[in-house]
Amino acid sequence: MKPLITYFALAYIISWLIWFPLYGHAFGIDNLPVLPFHHGIGGLGPLLASVITAWLYHKKAGLKQLLKQMIKAKPLIYVVIALCSPFLLAVLAAVINYVASGTFVRLSGLFVAKEYPALGFSGFFLYNLVFFGFGEEVGWRGFALPRLQSRFNALTASIILTVFWALWHWPLFLYRPGMASMGIAGAAGWFFSLLTGSILLTWLYNSSKASILICAIFHSTIDIAFLADFTDANMTNYMGMLITVWGILTIVIFKPQNLSKQPRTKI
């Protein structure tokens, strides 16, 4: 239990301190220096926390285990799912949008980032993979999930992890435009989408026998699909609906105990 407490505390402290120049204005502290890609740098908090905690409690063996999971790219089918499924869901959402409203969606915008259009698709994918894929998943799935799964079944572990994962995001509600404008209903919807994502990431993690790489790729492509230049409120809602259905089917098909055909990974 101590490693988990240490990990969560460090993940919060590191990310919240890095992000402070972005939300300090909410506490009357302005004009703090902001670095390029500052928000992304804060996303490295869970990774740094997991590395520090693994070293404190498991020394070289702990770091070696994390590294091994970070480069594990098998089974390849799950690499393909992680890379392609969010974009297939986006295309399906565009079809639903057309059927529902008769409006065509410019799918070329799927490969353009609203936030950093100059990066291009490959640059934005790399940005997401480094700062939010590996930055988050080395910690949430690579370090925390298997320890939670040692005490709880996969679904319960995913729900518990979602609560801690959601709390980690709280500073974003003070400075990220899309989140700062959310009401209670919007925040509840955001939490539910986070829970659905957590269930799917648990499915990928357990199915791949603990590949952090596969989880990092999926985290990245999901973010890209939702932040693409072709999305509007309708498209976001349709993609959210499709991912929710996917998450529910995952629970029904693979059952709460392991959320995969493979036994859940424990530490």
Write out pLDDT tens, residues 69-112. 999 999 999 999 999 999 999 899 989 988 888 777 777 777 77
Per the CB < 8 A criterion, the answer to whether 113 and 126 are in contact is no
DSSP reduced 3-state for 124: helix
Task: Specify whether the CB–CB gap between 116 and 39 falls below 8 A.
Answer: no
Residue 4 domain flag? no
In a domain, 40, yes or no: no
Sign of the dihedral through C-alpha 173, 178, 181, 187: negative
Domain that holds residue 250: 73-258
Closest CA to 203 of 135, 160, 257: 257
> What pLDDT is attached to residue 254?
97
57 within domain boundaries = no
pLDDT digits (tens, 9 = 90+) for 207-224: 999 999 999 999 999 999
Any domain includes 39: no
Confirm whether 68 is domain-assigned. no
12: nearest Cα among 227, 230, 165: 165
Our count of domains for the chain comes to 1
In a domain, 60, yes or no: no
> Would you tell me the crossing angle of helices 184-207 and 154-168 to the nearest 10 degrees?
130
Neighbours of 95 (CB within 10 A): 11
Q: Map tokens 């500073």 to a residue.
A: 171
At residue 115, the pLDDT reads 78
Residue 150 lies in a domain: yes
Does 131 score more than 80 pLDDT?
yes
Q: Which residue has the higher pLDDT, 181 or 170?
A: 170
**Residue 116: burial class (beta carbons within 10 Å; 0-12, 13-18, 19+):** middle
What are the CA-CA distances from residue 130 to residues 26, 69, 133 (Å)?
28, 15, 6
* 24: enclosing H helix or E strand: none
Give the pLDDT of residue 85. 96
Task: With respect to residue 264, please indicate whether it lies within any of the assigned structural domains.
Answer: no
Q: At 141, list the tokens.
A: 């799935």
Mean pLDDT of 148-156: 98
pLDDT at 35: 94
How far apart CA 83 and CA 109 sit, in angstroms, is 17
